[in-house]
Amino acid sequence: MKGIFSPSDLDQLLLQSSRDPQGTLNTLRGHLQPLHSIEYKNKINTIHGLALANLWKYDAAEKILNRTAKSLSKLGMTFGLALVLDELAAIYLIRGDINQAMMTWLNCLRFGIQHKDHTAIMRAHLGIGKTYYGIYDFNNAKRHHLAAIDVACMQPENPLSCEAYVCLGVDLIKLAQFESAYATLSIAKSLLYCTQYPNRSGCEIEIYFGMTLAAQDQINLAIDKFNSAIELATQDHYSWGLALAHLEKAKSLLTIKNHQQAIDELSKAEHYADLINSSLFRYQCYEMQYQIFKDTGDYELALERMQLFTQSALHKLDRDQKIRPSSTVIKLLNRLQEQLNFEHSKMENTELASRLKNHQALIRQLTERAETDPLTGLFNRRALDHRLEREIELSDIQQQPFSLLMLDIDHFKSINDVHSHQIGDKVLIQIALIIVSTCRQGEFVARYGGEEFTVLLPSATLEAACNVAERIRLNIAEFDWSSIKKGLNPITVSIGASCRQTAEAAESLLSRADALLYQAKHAGRNRVLGDHPQATTPH
């Protein structure tokens, strides 16, 4: 390409900027002057900024992209603004500046809504979802990735459609909804033909398939997937994909105690993590290497890795503590979301869109079914296990107390025996309603199984937990149960309340609450028992 670039040269260079950023910079060199029009200059700057970002030269990329974004908005030029904002936000996210990333993607969303630019809306939702993912809020990540899929349904050929399904698949893996994750990733795979980077996206899909399989103990199948991901990533010199594929393969090898091969995979992962300067990948490598060397008795190496791990763990903790979206960002997000819903309702629905919508409805159904107890509509045990792990992580990060309640209906068997199983079911539904209406927002209610329920109380001390439990106990005891069926006697519950001790694991917290519940039953039922003398008795 010589002289002034034609519009098609520019399009080609734009594509090249991620595939071959150094080549793009070489082509641009010497062509930056003389510049013909502001529009031309902005296009060149966009390509330049993207190529720099793809070479991990974030400071230089930020400078040039920021200047371009300002110029494009000032001149009212819409070409490429969403692309520029998207890349800028991604840079902020990589640096761990959550609020700046969120704000930039919100600008992209606002721009998309204003100009009815579906691609910009998709980019923004994908980015906001990734930001939530980065702060371990997988439910909100899922919400935004589903919103991106809503738009993808209007534009199935859009290269971002495949990415939207991949992102949702990853959220579902984190939410332990493996069946839905698999279905979502299969859709992503069928959309590979429309991506700009089929090898890269294909590599990511294989890795996530592998992770889904590994989580379900299908280790050999998982390793096959990681191998094919490595093959695809190698063809495309995709360092990020190589780092992740080697790391996940090492995890699988470790579960089948193949230490030597796991070590080999980890050194490859570390190599690629260094190439892309990813501290998060390195952190995981050090942690696993330390474990392996310790287990195989290589204490000197274990100590060395332990030191590296500790340094990066402190770095990660520091980052994790800083990452909370501000309330202004959340408010803005909600306002734009409302506007967007309104715009969506006006969009026309094509035949293809409705076909894809069916896929989406299927995923929603699978997702909800996997998380919900069909009788009471509460979260089920699976959702509880996952949420509990997350709340415990958060309570560590935020250094806040965390409590939970285990609740069991007293003499429930006799309700079934005397009044029928159907009445028993109605009682379960009513109890669920009472618990939910007694709890506040942010508290999490699940059916643990049978006639047992669990309530998670983030930030609650034992005293606060016992107060919530007491309110639930009273509301149930005072409910007019004859309104469910004439002759039904008052129903009571017993509750065990436990507050998490330092570094206590989920199972231990649950089993302490369960033991207290058992004691409450033995002490005569219809009472709350906490793990120190805070018990209450019926009045």
Query: Which residues are the active-site residues?
Result: 451
Pick 171 or 408: Cβ nearer ligand GTP: 408
Query: What tokens does 205 get?
Result: 């899909």
Pick 161 or 526: Cβ nearer ligand GTP: 526
Is there binding between residue 335 and ligand GTP (CB under 6 A)?
no
Looking at 79-87, 227-235, 424-432, 478-486, which segment touches ligand GTP (CB under 6 A)?
424-432
Give the one residue of 265, 408, 443, 531 binding ligand GTP; rule: CB under 6 A. Answer: 408
Query: What tokens does 234 get?
Result: 């190698």
Give the one residue of 353, 428, 462, 516 binding ligand GTP; rule: CB under 6 A. Answer: 428
Pick 276 or 423: Cβ nearer ligand GTP: 423
Q: Is 351 helix (H, G, I), strand (E, B) or coil?
A: helix
Pick 181 or 409: Cβ nearer ligand GTP: 409
Q: How many helices (H) and strands (E) does the chain have?
A: 23, 5
Half-sphere exposure of 386 (CA within 13 A, CB side): 19
Is there binding between residue 373 and ligand GTP (CB under 6 A)?
no
Pick 394 or 488: Cβ nearer ligand GTP: 488
- Taking CA atoms, 233 is separated from 157, 170, 281, 303, 498, in Å, by 23, 18, 17, 33, 48
82-85: long-range pairs with CB below 8 Å, 24+: 82/108, 82/111, 82/112, 82/117, 82/119, 82/120, 82/123, 82/124, 83/46, 83/50, 83/123, 84/46, 84/49, 85/111, 85/123
Of residues 504 through 523, those in contact with ligand GTP by CB under 6 A are 521
| Smallest distance, ligand GTP to C-beta of residue 147, A | 35
Q: How are beta strands 452-458 and 402-409 bridged, if at all? A: antiparallel
Give the one residue of 38, 375, 505, 523 binding ligand GTP; rule: CB under 6 A. Answer: 375
Residue nearest ligand GTP by beta-carbon distance: 424
Is there binding between residue 451 and ligand GTP (CB under 6 A)?
yes
Give the one residue of 148, 152, 409, 462 binding ligand GTP; rule: CB under 6 A. Answer: 409
Give the one residue of 49, 80, 241, 424 binding ligand GTP; rule: CB under 6 A. Answer: 424
| Smallest distance, ligand GTP to C-beta of residue 385, A | 19
Query: What tokens does 270 get?
Result: 């570390």
Question: How many residues contact ligand GTP, by CB under 6 A?
Answer: 16
DSSP string for residues in 122-184: HHHHHHHHHHHHHTT-HHHHHHHHHHHHHHHHH-TTSHHHHHHHHHHHHHHHHTT-HHHHHHH
| Smallest distance, ligand GTP to C-beta of residue 507, A | 21
Please answer whether residues 532 and 462 qualify as being in contact, where contact means their C-beta atoms are separated by less than 8 angstroms.
yes
Pick 137 or 410: Cβ nearer ligand GTP: 410
Q: How far apart are CA 411 and CA 420, in angstroms?
A: 14
Element (H, E) at 409: strand 402-409
Is there binding between residue 425 and ligand GTP (CB under 6 A)?
yes
| Smallest distance, ligand GTP to C-beta of residue 410, A | 4
| Smallest distance, ligand GTP to C-beta of residue 50, A | 56
Q: How far apart are CA 31 and CA 327, in angstroms?
A: 45
Torsion, Cα 430 432 438 442, to 10 degrees, reads -150
Is there binding between residue 416 and ligand GTP (CB under 6 A)?
yes
| Smallest distance, ligand GTP to C-beta of residue 511, A | 17
Give the one residue of 413, 482, 532, 537 binding ligand GTP; rule: CB under 6 A. Answer: 413
Pick 36 or 413: Cβ nearer ligand GTP: 413
Looking at 164-172, 259-267, 405-413, 468-476, which segment touches ligand GTP (CB under 6 A)?
405-413
Query: What tokens does 454 get?
Result: 């669990």
Pick 319 or 521: Cβ nearer ligand GTP: 521
452 pairs with which residues across the strands?
A: 408, 449
DSSP string for residues in 241-264: HHHHHHHHHHHHHHHTT-HHHHHH
Give the one residue of 41, 324, 381, 411 binding ligand GTP; rule: CB under 6 A. Answer: 411
Q: How far apart are CA 60 and CA 446, in angstroms?
A: 49
Is there binding between residue 412 and ligand GTP (CB under 6 A)?
yes
Is there binding between residue 105 and ligand GTP (CB under 6 A)?
no
Give the one residue of 410, 443, 470, 531 binding ligand GTP; rule: CB under 6 A. Answer: 410
| Smallest distance, ligand GTP to C-beta of residue 530, A | 19
- 423-447: b (≥16 Cβ within 10 Å) or e: bbebbbebbbebbbebbeeebbbbb
Pick 425 or 507: Cβ nearer ligand GTP: 425
Spatial neighbors of 195 by CB under 8 A, at least 6 apart, are 159, 162, 163, 201
499 pairs with which residues across the strands?
A: 403
Residues that bind ligand GTP (CB under 6 A): 375, 408-413, 416, 421, 424-425, 428, 450-451, 521, 525
